[in-house]
């Protein structure tokens, strides 16, 4: 069973797949007409005690790959080229469930099975940790410059923000609530709940959030207008609805999209939606932005 995937940055043919036995790295020739690649295109990264793997991501430079398993207290940093690895372990917190690099590669977020989560500094591999007041961390995303981390916990309809100074990697003291996602009635429909997943576009101007209601994914994706400078501001922008009766399974923003941001959503029906957001020219009022 596939639990996570990550394309290698600066490459269009290397894909890491997290699964039950470990990490499968596919190297695919984009010019090939073969629909089913052979076994020679596969690397299998396995380490004793490190399975099942539920989260995987390449570093922004593409040289390192991090993987995590809820049954292993260590994150594994892989050098895919040599298939060598280094475990990063802390005793407290339990197994690691979610890992995410900051876009600048300076920090690495790691959530555990407990209420504890860590942020690692990638130059010296020192870490600091925080503990939530509710459940474990379910979702997170970084701002494009890597200085702001948004996190969401189980059992809370709130998104929190943590700010890191550009000159220092371990200076955030507390998580501050920035978005209240409590259920409200909107056009005769109840909207809101806990966060299932969230993604932030590369310009830092759109945030997409999928929501849970009583452990069931809602049909709507909430979209917010965001700014990170001079301070973080987040305002509701609208909702995206897919095919009738379908719920979002995966979503992501295109790395670059001329004139704005492009959100792609995979729905439970098997269909894919591409939602463009067009931004005004620099200097125009933010209220004139349009979807």
pLDDT digits (tens, 9 = 90+) for 65-111: 999 999 999 999 999 989 899 999 886 788 999 999 999 999 999 99
Burial 140-173 (b: 16+ CB within 10 A, else e): bbbbbebbbbbbbbeebbbbbbbbbeeeebeebe
pLDDT for res 256: 86
pLDDT for res 282: 43
Cα(15)–Cα(190) distance, integer angstroms: 38
Q: Could you tell me if 273 and 202 are in contact, meaning their C-beta atoms sit under 8 angstroms apart?
A: no
Residues of the chain with pLDDT under 50: 282-290
pTM: 0.87
């Amino acid at each position: 069973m596939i639990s996570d995937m990550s394309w290698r940055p600066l490459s269009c043919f290397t894909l890491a797949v997290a699964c039950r036995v470990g990490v499968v790295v596919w190297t695919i020739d984009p010019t090939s007409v073969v629909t089913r690649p052979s076994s020679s295109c596969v690397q299998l990264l396995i380490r004793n005690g490190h399975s099942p793997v539920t989260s995987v991501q390449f570093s922004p430079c593409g040289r390192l790959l991090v993987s995590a398993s809820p049954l292993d207290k260590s994150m594994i940093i892989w050098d895919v080229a040599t298939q060598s690895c280094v475990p990063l372990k802390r005793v407290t917190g339990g197994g690691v469930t979610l890992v995410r690099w900051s876009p600048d590669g300076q920090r690495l977020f790691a959530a555990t099975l407990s209420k504890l989560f860590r942020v690692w500094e990638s130059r010296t591999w020192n870490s600091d940790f925080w503990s939530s007041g509710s459940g474990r961390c379910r979702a997170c995303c970084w701002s494009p410059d890597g200085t702001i981390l948004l996190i969401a916990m189980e059992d809370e309809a709130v998104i929190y923000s943590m700010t890191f100074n550009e000159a220092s990697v371990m200076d955030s003291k507390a998580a501050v609530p920035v978005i209240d996602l409590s259920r409200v009635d909107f056009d005769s429909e109840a909207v809101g709940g806990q966060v299932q997943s969230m993604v932030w576009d590369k310009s830092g101007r759109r945030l997409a959030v999928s929501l849970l209601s009583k452990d069931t994914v809602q049909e709507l994706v909430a979209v917010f207008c965001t700014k990170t400078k001079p301070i973080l501001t987040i305002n509701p922008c609208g909702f995206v609805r897919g095919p009738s009766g379908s719920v979002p399974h995966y979503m992501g923003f295109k790395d670059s999209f001329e004139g704005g941001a492009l959100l792609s959503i995979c729905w439970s029906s098997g269909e894919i939606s591409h939602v463009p957001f067009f931004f005004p020219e620099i200097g125009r009022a933010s209220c004139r932005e349009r979807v």
